[in-house]
């Protein structure tokens, strides 16, 4: 119990500090107790951050939601279909295909970033939304999870029954199997959402125009300009607080699904 309490402090104090710091104005940031409130300026601070440079911060947040939300949604659908087919159909080369995809799990995303940049620059497509979005919709780990979970949770009898009722394979998947695979699919979605939201290398080398930035890259550039533009320091703190809220909300909303899917990944 004592161990748990001590570590709760370790995990939560930085976030508490961030929250407190985001409520202070610039002079109070250094002058007052860092772990307790001074004058509450949170609303004013947020307004300043959001309106700074024509509201570029909000644009970053929207970009991040589009990259991570849209990307994870498509990635989940593609990985779910592929993993399901690998689990439920018998065909030649199935194991080979699965092993190739599984090998993709071990390929670090950062090792792909540089060649992807070179490829996209060949077709003059760097510095576009798509150059970051398209590579994000491939999730080998999602295929792996979906295959394991489909194998364990979608009974063959149910698929046969659906066939006898005259449903096509695709229809069976979307009406019957998807429901049974739901916890795994939510887990895949969240994994991919977090992976895209946190991805740094790819946007860093791909994007030049700050209007395409995800919020992490935006805050990073602000933070590296603090020495020239001191007011950015408090903007970075307020922006950081705002940027972690969507993920916490997503986790809270979906937690009863993803927790039951999480165990599936460790079945080896």
Partner 1 sequence: MSSTLAQQSPPKRRKRPTRFAGSIALFILPFGVLFGLFYLVPILYAVYQSFLVVERDGTFGKAKEVFGGFAQYAEVFQNGPFWESITRVLLFGVVQVPVMLGLSLLFALLLDSPLVKGKKFFRLAFFVPYAVPGVIAAIMWGFLYSPNLSPFSALTSSVDFLSADLVLWAMANVVTWVFVGYNMLIIYSSLLSIPTEIYEAARLDGAGQLRIAFSIKIPLVTPAIIMTAIFSIIGTLQLLAEPQVFRSFSSAVTSTFTPNLTILTTAAAPNINLAAAFSVVLAVTTFILSFAFLKFTQRKAFA
Instruction: List the interface residues with partner 1, window 223-242 (CB under 8 A).
Output: 223-224, 226-227, 236-237, 240
From candidates 40, 62, 107, 161, binder to partner 1 by CB under 8 A: 107
From candidates 174, 201, 254, 257, binder to partner 1 by CB under 8 A: 201
Site for partner 1 in 178-197 (CB under 8 A): 194, 197
Nearest distance in Å: CB 40, partner 1 = 18
From candidates 6, 43, 54, 90, binder to partner 1 by CB under 8 A: 90
Angle between helices 56-65 and 232-262 (to 10 degrees): 10
166 sits near partner 1 (criterion: CB under 8 A): no
Q: Other CB atoms closer than 10 Å to residue 64's CB: what's the count? A: 22
Site for partner 1 in 36-75 (CB under 8 A): none
From candidates 22, 49, 72, 85, binder to partner 1 by CB under 8 A: 85
130 sits near partner 1 (criterion: CB under 8 A): no
- Binding footprint of partner 1, residue count (CB under 8 A): 87
Distance CA 213, CA 56 (A): 9
253 sits near partner 1 (criterion: CB under 8 A): no
From candidates 23, 45, 162, 216, binder to partner 1 by CB under 8 A: 216
Taking Cα atoms as reference points, which of 109, 127, 119, 86 lies closest to residue 211? 127
Q: Which is nearer to partner 1, 50 or 109 (CB)?
A: 109
From candidates 99, 198, 211, 231, binder to partner 1 by CB under 8 A: 198
78 sits near partner 1 (criterion: CB under 8 A): yes
From candidates 50, 167, 247, 254, binder to partner 1 by CB under 8 A: 247
Taking Cα atoms as reference points, which of 247, 211, 265 lies closest to residue 72? 247
Distance CA 45, CA 253 (A): 27
151 sits near partner 1 (criterion: CB under 8 A): no
The residue range among 37-45, 50-58, 86-94 that interacts with partner 1, by the rule CB under 8 A, is 86-94
Helix ranges, 89-231 (H): 94-106, 109-122, 129-136, 140-153, 156-164, 169-172, 178-180, 182-198, 201-206, 215-224
8 Å CB contact between 214 and 179: no
Distance CA 140, CA 145 (A): 9
138 sits near partner 1 (criterion: CB under 8 A): yes
8 Å CB contact between 239 and 49: yes
Distance CA 55, CA 44 (A): 14
From candidates 67, 101, 149, 189, binder to partner 1 by CB under 8 A: 101
8 Å CB contact between 18 and 241: yes
């Amino acid at each position: 119990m004592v161990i748990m309490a001590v570590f709760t402090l370790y995990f939560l104090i930085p976030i508490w500090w961030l929250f407190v710091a985001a409520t202070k104005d610039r002079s109070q940031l250094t002058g007052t107790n860092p772990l307790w409130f001074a004058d509450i300026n949170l609303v004013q601070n947020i307004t300043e951050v959001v309106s700074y440079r024509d509201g570029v911060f909000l644009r970053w947040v929207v970009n991040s939601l589009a990259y991570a939300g849209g990307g994870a949604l498509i990635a989940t659908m593609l990985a779910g279909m592929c993993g399901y087919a690998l689990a439920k159909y018998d065909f030649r080369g199935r194991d080979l295909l699965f092993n190739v995809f599984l090998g993709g799990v071990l390929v670090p995303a950062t090792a792909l970033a540089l060649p992807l940049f070179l490829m996209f620059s060949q077709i003059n497509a760097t510095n576009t939304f798509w150059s970051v979005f398209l590579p994000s919709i491939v999730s080998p780990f999602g295929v792996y999870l979906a295959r394991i979970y489909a194998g364990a949770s979608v009974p063959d009898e149910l698929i046969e029954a659906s066939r006898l009722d005259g449903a096509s394979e695709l229809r069976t998947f979307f009406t019957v199997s998807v429901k049974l695979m739901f916890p795994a699919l939510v887990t895949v979605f969240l994994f991919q959402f977090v992976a895209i939201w946190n991805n740094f290398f790819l946007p860093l080398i791909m994007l030049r125009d700050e209007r395409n930035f995800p919020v992490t890259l935006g805050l990073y550039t602000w933070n590296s300009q603090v020495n020239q533009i001191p007011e950015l320091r408090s903007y970075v703190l307020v922006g950081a607080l705002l940027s972690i809220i969507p993920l916490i909300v997503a986790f809270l909303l979906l937690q009863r699904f993803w927790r039951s899917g999480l165990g599936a990944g460790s079945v080896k």
